[in-house]
Structure 1
Amino acid sequence: MSTTKIVIVGSGFAGSVVAEQLARAGHQILVLDQRPHIAGNAYDECDAQGVLIHRYGPHIFHTNAQRVVDYLSRFTDWLPYEHRVLASVEGQLLPIPINQDTINRLYGLNLDEVGIQAYFERVREPRDPIKTSEDVVLNTVGRDLYEKFFRGYTRKQWGLDPSQLNAAVTARIPVRTNRDDRYFNDEFQIMPKDGYTALFQRMLDHPNIHLELNTDFFAIRQQIKAKTIIYTGPIDAYFNYCYGRLPYRSLRFEHEHLPGISRYQPAAVVNYPNDHAYTRITEFKYLTGQQHSHTAIVREYPQAEGDPYYPVPRPENEALYQQYKALAAVERNVFFVGRLAQYRYYNMDQVIAAALKTAERILGSA
């Protein structure tokens, strides 16, 4: 391999954004991906009947970062989309994040905003300091809502009790006293008009970018003589697990095509915190805006084994990551970026921002 090339391991958002930025600056880029397609976990495709699905579970774009939106807008037009989620609790489908309607319908009440705030104050169990995900929820909404909406879901998702997880996990989910039933509060809530894969195809469509799919970086690592490597895979794998394996949570997806049904459920996502082995069902047509006489859904089954999706946020895991981060800091001409390489529970916009920053660092030192 030529020593003039920059090699990027992974064609998800982290790798593709860096590839595009460096290629536009005149560098020759080789992008490797072990999967048979680009776009990483954001990959979408039409199923056999033509319904656009997200192969690796729902990817919903939301951000407050104007810079990220401006950057992606070079590769896609947008559809407005406000994400809504319902939770199946005691025979009802109730809004999550918890809001005024959730409380009133669950308990047969008729409280306004002031009444809801007073209700939370009455039932909350103050926690100081707040260290765990359990602390966050009990401190905000109390024991009963914790048990009904959070504890079972978290146990399925992470294989751990909320009391064993960092506060950041449940702190991601707001609690509202009004009737706002949107899942996110961000200024920009939009979806790529032609889907994510089309966005990535445009991003990587540059004469300076060469793609090699179905290629395992570790199988050809000794042959690579690049002057710079951008690595987006699991950081512990890069260093051959020398300090032990970092825990990641995986998922199994059960896709189902439903012919002759235009709508399967009343919202894009329905959570099942207390029933079934799966955590949620997503119906893709809500996300994509696609008009089709059929519909398609996916059930998500969290598991310990399989492709790594989520770094497990616990203090001991962070301490282990810091050991690998110290190795990465002295690795010459190798940049680690993305959810797996930085062992962070990033949203898509955070990955893109980190990738843009990484590209700036590389170009600044070139």
Structure 2
Amino acid sequence: MMNQGSSQGIDVPAGEQNGAERADGPVILSDPPRRADYVIVGSGLTGGTIARLLTEAGRDVVVLERRSHVGGNVHDHRHPSGVRIHTYGPHYFRTNSDDLWEWVNRFGDFYKFEAVVKSLVDGEIENWPIAGSYIARTVGREWKPSFTGTATNFEEASLKMMPELVYRKFVKGYSEKQWGVKAHELAADLAKRFDVREDDEPRLMRHKYQGIPREGYAGFTQNLLKGIPVVMP
């Protein structure tokens, strides 16, 4: 699963810690300017996008960043082996919007990337999200969800989507290990992170456009914030 990792306790290699090494990136400041129309907190994708749109609308903006690099949780860096590491956990971009896809490509080209996730269940490799054909093979084609009431927790919300046998094979153990608590103690909204599919579409997401910046998110956010003042330690 494409999970966002914690931002705590991560060491970013020297030379990758901030945007100062790129002359065509943001304007790195140690102190904020005396005047700005807008102060934006955080230089991740949201903050960077707001800063870019306001700048192009003729506004004076300054971005405040507490970390020693721009990009927020999508920041990445190169391992000495040459592999690009997503510092805070893997992220990939996806959208169905033609306009948005055209806009983000202003700041860098993208590799096509479509995540495909598999689960090992009873010694067999199965699709994730759960394919309807798997449920049909396991419990028959005329299956029903195991819970029909109003879901008050993650377990009940999951069982509203599938038979209990499938829930126990695919969801329960993985989720309890991931979150460190029992499934019935988790919020029902967490079940929105996955679905049960009627088809056998193998991709994790179905968006029209999916990809990862060729220069990495570090390069992408440098381009996004080009010429914009960013105050960081």
Regarding TM over 0.5, the answer is: yes
**How far apart are the structure 2 equivalents of 1:195 and 1:102?**
36
Superposition map of 1:11-90 within 5 A: 11-90=43-122
- The answer on 1:193 being equivalent to 2:214 is yes
Q: Aligned letter for 1:78? A: F
The higher relative CO (CA closer than 8 Å, separation ≥ 6) is in: 2
**Distance in structure 2 (CA, Å) of the matches to 1:89 and 1:183:** 17
**1:127 and 2:148 are equivalent in the alignment:** yes
How many residue pairs match? The answer is 201
Q: 1:116 and 1:63 mapped to 2: Cα distance?
A: 35
Say if 1:70 and 1:164 are closer, same or farther in 2 by CA, change over 3 A: farther
Corresponding residue for 1:318?
Answer: none
SS in 1 for 2:54: helix
Asked if 2 retains the 8 angstrom alpha-carbon contact of 1:77 and 1:192, the reply is: yes
For residue 152 of structure 1, what is the aligned residue in structure 2?
173
Partner of 1:74: helix, strand, or coil?
A: helix
Cα–Cα, structure 1 residues 26 and 87, in superposed 2: closer, same or farther, change >3 Å? Answer: same
Matching residue's letter, 1:84:
V
Q: 2: CA distance between counterparts of 1:182 and 1:65?
A: 18
Match for residue 160 of structure 2?
139
Give the conservation status (yes or no) of the 8 Å contact 1:96–1:102: no
Alignment-mate amino acid for residue 23 of structure 1: T
Deviations 1:38-88 (A, max 9, x none): 111111121011011211111022222334323212212222222111123
Instruction: Give the TM-score, by structure 1 length.
Output: 0.50
TM-score normalized with structure 2 length: 0.75
The root-mean-square deviation of aligned C-alpha atoms, in Å, is 2.4
Aligned AA (2:113): Y
Alpha-carbon distance in 2 for matches of 1:140, 1:80: 31
Q: 1:8 corresponds to which letter in structure 2?
A: I
Aligned partner letter, 1:174: D
Name structure 1 gaps, 5 residues minimum: 215-366
Distance between the aligned counterparts of 2:65 and 2:127, measured in 1?
Answer: 39
Q: Which runs of 5+ in 2 are unaligned?
A: 1-32
Q: Check conservation: 1:100, 1:116, Cα contact below 8 A.
A: no
* Among 142, 167, 176, the residue aligned to 2:188: 167
Question: Identity over aligned residues, as a percent?
Answer: 31
Separation in structure 2 between the aligned mates of residue 129 and residue 69 of structure 1, nearest angstrom: 38
Partner of 2:200: 179
CA contact 2:52–2:224 (8 Å) conserved in 1:
yes
Give the Cα separation in 2 of the matches to 1:96 and 1:27: 45
Q: 1:58 to 1:14 in 2, by over 3 A?
A: same
Give how far 1:96 is off.
Answer: 1.0
How many angstroms apart in 1 are the aligned matches of 2:75 and 2:231?
A: 16
2:161–2:195 CA contact under 8 A, matched in 1: no
